[in-house]
Chains A and B, each alone.
Chain A
Amino acid sequence: MTRLTRREFLRTSGTGAGLGLLAAAGVAGCAPAIKGDFAPKAGRRVVVIGGGWGGATAAKYVRLADPSIEVVLLEPNQQFVSCPFSNLVLSGVRSIDSLTFGYGGLRSHDVKVYHAAASAIEPDTRRVRVGEGYLEYDRLIVSPGVEFQWEQVDGLAEAQDRVLHAWKAGRQTVQLARQLEAMPDGGVFVLTVPPVAYRCPPGPYERACQVAWYLKTRKPKSKLVVLDANQNVVSKAALFRAAWKDYPNLEYRASNKVVKVDPSTREVTTDFGDRVKYDVVNLIPPQRAGTIAVQADLVGADKRWCEVDHVTYESVKHKNVHVVGDSTIGLPVPKSGNIANAMGKICAVAVVHLLNGKEVPSMAPGNTCYSWVNDREAIAVVNAYKIEGGKVVQIEQKLTPSQSAEWAQHADGWARSIWQDILA
């Protein structure tokens, strides 16, 4: 993660509506205590919770669709770090800096970016709580991504500082890359895959490729063990298995759900009681919707994910509250950045139509997930959808015929376009 210098921090937060605006609202100081209605609403306002793939996109596109609507974005992180391509940081093929962007582009669309976390949602009064203060909204868009279910793995909650997930790109990605680099040749790297549904179905297998490629080229006596809670590779199975033919150092074990980790003995335990020793472990925990969505009662009976209308992304549980991105469930789509971006755009257009009392156009998202299988080749899965009877339905799924440098170059083109679509 790129660390901000103090000067940069002051500059970022001072432009547009960072702490500068908080100060203007009468709450100055180093650690401003936000109190009361800290940014009173003048006209119509959309508040967005979460400045990731879904939320940042939605914030920008509400402004594009109707510049008379004020947009306030709440995001605790000063910078956006892309999860897509972050597996390449582990293999040293890309730097984390090349995946790190500021929020200046959104500010140039007059999105008011506050680097603070929403602490509660009050759908009845249409307020979002931020610390001791609050903000009013006409419509709310929630895109808080995923939270980890630490309690599902024994010993994990206490070991969070050593047993890394690196499943939210940033500091942990860099730390895991360092652990891998420091691992002695001849060591064992254990990667665990959580049960579905989780963020980015092909992500763990792309990571397996990157770690195996790194070990093969840099630490040839080492081994990668993949312990998958699922019965088979969840996405692009044939293409990943073909790629793994190049990695005799990769041992894949399906139906091996990890239920316990013990950093003192450097061991994980599966639900069958098998113990596996590691030198470095990357434990990707089971997941649910971001905490704010759970606390705000946006999740269904499973207490994990949020059900939404397939055309407007309005929550089925609370009116005027829309949910996009990884937190949603019920659409036949993967939890991908590409889908979060598509949902953000469609939801923004829907929200603007609703605020203007117009009929909402029925738009379906699209999906593409590229996965890098070594330092220069990739594979991809593409899904097209339509709306039928008010529901998202898949038209077609297509895979690349094999791995090649051609798809890797397309992946690069995709990333540049979509980062711009979200943030510029």
Chain B
Amino acid sequence: MRTTIRLVAGSLSLGVVLVAGVAAAGPLDGPGAAKALACSACHGPGGQSPSNTMPIIAGIAPWYFKKAIEDYAGGRRPSPEMEPYAKYVIQAGVDDLAAYFTGQARQPTAMRPDAAAIERGRAASKQCAICHGESGRGDAAKGSPDLRGQPPGYLRHQMLLFKADRRNPADETLKALKALMKTVPDDQIGDLAAYYSSLR
């Protein structure tokens, strides 16, 4: 585990980080922009997370943003970090924040997973397309979010949470998704994460 963290830390030079940050920083006008300042500490400037673990929330669909915030604030999606921040979002105005992040064009993660893993993930992704679409773009009608360009570490971790029934535990509406995840071996979960993170 220690090596994993170190590898991640070493994989991006500061130069890359700096350039990405400059491009990502948006103007600060609009009611959502000032309210969103609290989020960049973890999700990166403009919601363009530079790490492998924090999700990119730039370009997030407003309906999915609101559901995530409500689930965190209500304790349905357990997260010690997001529960307090979700309550802050509700206090500050969820629509303003949703509008701000939806308006930020998503820059895909800078993480570059192994090409062989991406190919294996592509082959395994047929079972996901029914809900997330062939392109991984997601589907509002099915409540499934856009997976494209998210950090692979984040995607992998969320799938493991579904598999262990730790994300929205015992939620009836996600029964089909979790039943499917239980059938996916852990290494294939890594491959699927690599594949979806590589999509644009």
* Chain B residue at minimal CB-CB distance from A85: B9
Which of B17-25, B134-142, B170-178, B182-190 makes up part of the contact surface?
Answer: B17-25
CA distance A424 to B22 in the complex (A): 6
CA distance A364 to B6 in the complex (A): 34
Across the interface, which residues of A come within 8 angstroms of B88, CB to CB? 364, 366, 384-386, 395
A401 within 8 A of B: yes
Whether the Cβ atoms of A98 and B9 lie closer than 8 Å is yes
CA distance A368 to B35 in the complex (A): 17
Interface size classification for chain A: 35 or more
Across the interface, which residues of A come within 8 angstroms of B38, CB to CB? 342, 363-366
Contact of B45 among A98, A368, A405, A421 (CB under 8 A): A421
CA distance A353 to B51 in the complex (A): 32
**Residues 130-152 of chain A, each 1 if its beta carbon lies under 8 Å from chain B, else 0:** 00000000000000000000000
CA distance A396 to B73 in the complex (A): 11
**Residues 233-254 of chain A, each 1 if its beta carbon lies under 8 Å from chain B, else 0:** 0000000000000000000000
Q: For window 80-102 of chain B, which residues contact chain A by CB distance below 8 Å? A: 80-81, 83-85, 87-88, 91-92
CA distance A410 to B8 in the complex (A): 12
Across the interface, which residues of B come within 8 angstroms of A159, CB to CB? none
- With A366-B38, A410-B53 already in contact, the answer to whether A376 and B87 are too (CB < 8 A) is no
Across the interface, which residues of A come within 8 angstroms of B12, CB to CB? 416
A346 within 8 A of B: yes
Whether the Cβ atoms of A366 and B41 lie closer than 8 Å is yes
Which of A31-39, A101-109, A180-188, A260-268 makes up part of the contact surface?
Answer: A101-109
Whether the Cβ atoms of B8 and A417 lie closer than 8 Å is no
A408 within 8 A of B: yes
A10 within 8 A of B: no
- With A384-B88, A416-B17, A424-B18 already in contact, the answer to whether A65 and B28 are too (CB < 8 A) is yes
Q: For window 16-68 of chain B, which residues contact chain A by CB distance below 8 Å? A: 17-22, 25, 27-28, 31, 34-35, 37-38, 40-45, 49-54
CA distance A346 to B51 in the complex (A): 24
- With A61-B28, A412-B8 already in contact, the answer to whether A363 and B42 are too (CB < 8 A) is no
B152 within 8 A of A: no
Across the interface, which residues of A come within 8 angstroms of B92, CB to CB? 386
CA distance A64 to B24 in the complex (A): 12
Whether the Cβ atoms of A424 and B81 lie closer than 8 Å is no
Chain A nearest CB, measured from B183 CB (Å)? 24
CA distance A414 to B55 in the complex (A): 11
A397 within 8 A of B: yes
CA distance A310 to B62 in the complex (A): 31
Whether the Cβ atoms of A408 and B5 lie closer than 8 Å is yes
Across the interface, which residues of A come within 8 angstroms of B121, CB to CB? none
A86 within 8 A of B: no
Q: For window 368-422 of chain A, which residues contact chain B by CB distance below 8 Å? A: 368, 375-376, 380, 382-386, 395-401, 405-410, 412-414, 416-421
Whether the Cβ atoms of A417 and B1 lie closer than 8 Å is no
* Chain A residue at minimal CB-CB distance from B10: A98
B153 within 8 A of A: yes
Whether the Cβ atoms of B81 and A338 lie closer than 8 Å is no
CA distance A409 to B55 in the complex (A): 12
Q: For window 118-148 of chain B, which residues contact chain A by CB distance below 8 Å? A: none
Whether the Cβ atoms of A382 and B9 lie closer than 8 Å is no
Across the interface, which residues of A come within 8 angstroms of B157, CB to CB? 406, 409
* Chain B residue at minimal CB-CB distance from A417: B44
Whether the Cβ atoms of B27 and A398 lie closer than 8 Å is no
CA distance A401 to B29 in the complex (A): 38
Whether the Cβ atoms of B91 and A421 lie closer than 8 Å is no
Whether the Cβ atoms of A414 and B80 lie closer than 8 Å is no
Contact of B44 among A94, A385, A401, A421 (CB under 8 A): A421
A341 within 8 A of B: yes
A93 within 8 A of B: yes
A345 within 8 A of B: yes
Contact of A349 among B34, B41, B44 (CB under 8 A): B34
Across the interface, which residues of A come within 8 angstroms of B20, CB to CB? 420, 424
Whether the Cβ atoms of A400 and B37 lie closer than 8 Å is no
CA distance A380 to B35 in the complex (A): 23
CA distance A347 to B135 in the complex (A): 42
Contact of A420 among B34, B45, B85 (CB under 8 A): B45
Whether the Cβ atoms of A105 and B8 lie closer than 8 Å is no
CA distance A93 to B1 in the complex (A): 12
Across the interface, which residues of A come within 8 angstroms of B87, CB to CB? 384, 395-396
9 pairs from A and B in contact (CB 8 Å cutoff): A363-B38, A382-B80, A383-B84, A386-B91, A395-B84, A412-B9, A416-B50, A417-B40, A417-B42
Interface residues of B (CB under 8 A from A): 1-2, 5, 8-9, 12, 14, 17-22, 25, 27-28, 31, 34-35, 37-38, 40-45, 49-54, 80-81, 83-85, 87-88, 91-92, 153, 157
